[in-house]
Amino acid sequence: MNNKLKQIKSYWNRQPCNINHSNKPGLSKRYFDEVRKKKYFVENHILKFADFKKYNKKNVLEIGCGIGTDAMEFIKNGAKYVGVDYSDESIRICKRRTEVLKLTKKNAHFVIDNCEELKKIKKLKKRFHLIYSFGVLHHTENMQKAFNQIYKIADKNTEIKIMLYAKNSYKKFLLNDTDYRYEAQKGCPVVYTVSDEDVNNLIKNKFKIIEKYQDFIFPYKIKPYKNNKYIKIDHFKFMPKKIFNLLKKNIGEHMMLKLKKI
């Protein structure tokens, strides 16, 4: 493991994504319920993109499961789910979350693995109907390696759904604001953003694009948001919904990709 990968693992072990979405007692049902509520209130476009109900009795691989909010939705909806994350702490929390929510363990398998290699996933020798990764691959040192591994484990019928941070985005325009950054926590060791050209290079000779679009702008003031208060930035507070939706489509922070293996 090189120094950069060590930094990545250490960072996400210290502060798994969304770990501070609730101040309820740690790893309790109330805690997990609030984490879920906050995530899907702010990022409700995930529900349409992931389409959890579609994968009942289907094999689903999530690359970068974090503390398992999307994982629990796949499992609750009957998917035969495999979640991989590079963070040992995230995997520990996922397993605990499955127990707390009393979800069947036979349909939930969590693995510590590096998305640039996926050695343990390959050993499972599973055919996946869906490979899903939301907001993860832009945090690894070499995204191309990660896409190469997805290519190896997918077949031509596998649906592939990936979200990456968009380069041409509202958030990118705000990075000069000292209170605004890509991650809620400071010091993230790797954060890439992608343009259309970058996406084309990542998938070249491997995948075809079924759908590609931008979505999501975070409209809330950050300091109140950290205290679970949803106060919109003034220009969003008075903005017509139609205009806001147009902005999301053109400079949304999330590049949403649906791919198929060539």
Mean pLDDT, residues 185-193: 88
pLDDT (0 to 100) of residue 222:
86
| Range 186-219 burial, b when 16+ CB lie within 10 A, else e | eebbeebbbeeebbeebbeebbeeeeeebbbbbb
Considering its fold, how many domains does the chain have in total?
1
Q: Cα–Cα distance between 147 and 166 in angstroms, integer?
A: 17
Q: What's the rounded mean pLDDT across residues 62-79?
A: 98
Q: Residue 8: which CATH number?
A: 3.40.50.150
Answer with the residue of higher pLDDT: 122 or 180: 122
Between 2 and 194, residue with greater pLDDT: 194
Say if residue 80's pLDDT is above 60: yes
Model confidence at 126: pLDDT above 50: yes
**Containing domain of residue 59, as a range?**
3-261
Return the pLDDT at 227: 85
pLDDT category, 172, cuts 50, 70, 90?
A: confident
Q: What pLDDT sits at residue 223? A: 87
pLDDT exceeds 70 at position 198: yes
Q: Read off the pTM.
A: 0.95
What phi and psi values does residue 159 have, to the nearest 5 degrees?
A: -80, 140
Strands 108-112, 80-85: pairing is parallel
- Residue 184 pLDDT: 64
